[in-house]
Amino acid sequence: MKNTFGNSLTVTLFGESHGPCIGAVIDGLAPGIKIDEQYIAEKLSKRRPKDETATSRREPDLFEIKSGVFNGFTTGTPLCIIIPNTDTISKNYDDLLGKARPGHADYAAFCKYHGFEDARGGGHFSGRITASLVAAGAIISYALQNKGIYIGTHVKKCADIYDSEFSDDLKTDISSLLSKDFPALSDEKYGKMREAVLNAKNDNDSVGGIIETAVICMPKGVGEPWFDTVEGKLSHALFSVPAVKGVEFGLGFSFADKRASNVNDGLYIENGEIYTKTNNNGGINGGITNGMPVIFRCAIKPTPSISKVQDTVDYKNNENTQIEIHGRHDPCIAFRACPVIDAICAITLADLLVLRYGTDYLA
């Protein structure tokens, strides 16, 4: 399905970084979901670059809902949301055309699209496209919250600095993340991360990170054993986010050094409800939710756009060359990736829920 994701609730993305607009079509929404435009705007504002830790491109992200909403509620028919591009400086890219930016999709895209691709600003590969995802995800996460399902993401690690861990009170942690301008549990740790990011920027360089997501109150028994596991569906969508190069659930790669006796999640029953004592499996067993919080982490690579001189090729002229990238870029994309991951998570889980409980579930 390529640029469409989902089975019963689907999202289709379109748009290029320097085209007139970007957008998304959401299909399969229940009729009667309230559209809170303020809530969508807030989510978009979290993704937006704010200060010198991010690109200087400033888009107001004034979204327009073109269909699927009537009198403030979803109709149940496809909802198209469009976000105009306003602050595009294509000139920055003119010298680059044909020169592959190392670490970027340029050359791979050329192999696929044979030179017809709109390479300005990364075109359809640009992080800009994620604004549509955030808008679509906002509509859905608003509905999920009405079912008690909350999603929050923080930068767990950036440039070797660790944020505080999620506490046992995930609901409060998520609320705190949703209320802050930056996605970190500890303000102090955030300050240090910020400093490290600015250091990298001063060096004309960029840094990577790990971001971690928690979802509470997912119903039990959702997902499939083969192949539509909760992990498989989520990772499928998550790897679309530019810069994500790894996805792990629960202990993830740390399982490798463990013995089962230390990491098996023992179960217990309390007041008639079944829980696990630990949550090393991140709320999922055999691909299916077990009622514990869903926990996953994404590896974010350093933004490949840096203003240092780099060796590369000019694939249009078939020759070795060098490149210096002078566009507007993020010295660390991990922070702005958090609301995007929230959005993708909302979209994917909502699809699984609707498939499980029917199309009116989110109303």
Query: What residues between 300 and 359 interact with a copy of itself by CB under 8 A?
Result: 300-306, 308, 310-313, 315, 318-320, 355-359
241-270: which residues touch a copy of itself (CB under 8 A)?
242, 244-261, 263-269
Among 55, 74, 141, 279, binds a copy of itself (CB under 8 A): 74
**Cα separation, 349 vs 8, whole angstroms:** 11
Residue 205 binds to a copy of itself (criterion: CB under 8 A): yes
Q: Are 209 and 159 in contact (CB under 8 A)?
A: yes
Q: Which residue number, 91 or 269, has a Cβ lying nearer to a copy of itself?
A: 269
For the bound state, the minimum distance from the C-beta of residue 168 to a copy of itself, rounded and expressed in Å, comes to 19
130-149: which residues touch a copy of itself (CB under 8 A)?
none
For the bound state, the minimum distance from the C-beta of residue 207 to a copy of itself, rounded and expressed in Å, comes to 6
Q: Which stretch in 86-94, 144-152, 169-177, 293-301 sits in contact with a copy of itself by CB under 8 A?
A: 293-301
Among 138, 284, 345, 349, binds a copy of itself (CB under 8 A): 284
Residue 285 binds to a copy of itself (criterion: CB under 8 A): yes
Residue 49 binds to a copy of itself (criterion: CB under 8 A): no
Residue 82 binds to a copy of itself (criterion: CB under 8 A): yes
Residue 277 binds to a copy of itself (criterion: CB under 8 A): yes
Residue 202 binds to a copy of itself (criterion: CB under 8 A): no
Q: Which residue number, 178 or 200, has a Cβ lying nearer to a copy of itself?
A: 200
Residue 127 binds to a copy of itself (criterion: CB under 8 A): no
- Residue count, binding to a copy of itself (CB under 8 A): 157
Q: Are 215 and 345 in contact (CB under 8 A)?
A: yes
Backbone φ and ψ for 112, nearest 5 degrees, come out as -85, -40
Report the SS3 class of residue 65. strand
94-123: which residues touch a copy of itself (CB under 8 A)?
100, 102-118, 123
Residue 50 binds to a copy of itself (criterion: CB under 8 A): no
For the bound state, the minimum distance from the C-beta of residue 334 to a copy of itself, rounded and expressed in Å, comes to 8
Say how many C-beta atoms besides its own lie within 10 A of residue 325's C-beta: 21
Sign of CA dihedral 171, 41, 238, 3: positive
DSSP assignment letter at 354: H
Sign of CA dihedral 344, 347, 351, 352: positive
Say how many C-beta atoms besides its own lie within 10 A of residue 172's C-beta: 10
Q: Which residue number, 51 or 274, has a Cβ lying nearer to a copy of itself?
A: 274
Sign of CA dihedral 107, 308, 50, 165: positive
- Per DSSP, the residues of 260-321 read HHHHS--EEEETTEEEESS-TTTTEETTEE-SSPEEEEEEEPPPS--SS-EEEEETTTTEEE
Report the SS3 class of residue 288. strand
For the bound state, the minimum distance from the C-beta of residue 35 to a copy of itself, rounded and expressed in Å, comes to 11
Residue 62 binds to a copy of itself (criterion: CB under 8 A): no
Burial category of 230 from C-beta neighbours within 10 Å (exposed 0-12, middle 13-18, buried 19 and up): buried
Among 223, 293, 327, 339, binds a copy of itself (CB under 8 A): 223
Among 68, 152, 293, 339, binds a copy of itself (CB under 8 A): 68
Q: CB-based contacts of 282: which residues, under 8 Å, 6+ apart?
A: 249, 250, 251, 252, 292, 293, 294, 295, 296
167-196: which residues touch a copy of itself (CB under 8 A)?
none
In this structure, the strands spanning 4-5 and 319-323 are unpaired
- DSSP alpha helix (H) spans, 105-159: 106-113, 130-146
Residue 13 binds to a copy of itself (criterion: CB under 8 A): yes
Q: Which token pair is 85?
A: 């591009």
76: region left, alpha or beta (phi > 0 left; psi from -120 to 50 alpha): left
For the bound state, the minimum distance from the C-beta of residue 172 to a copy of itself, rounded and expressed in Å, comes to 26
For the bound state, the minimum distance from the C-beta of residue 174 to a copy of itself, rounded and expressed in Å, comes to 22
Residue 276 binds to a copy of itself (criterion: CB under 8 A): yes
The residue behind tokens 């509470």 is 216
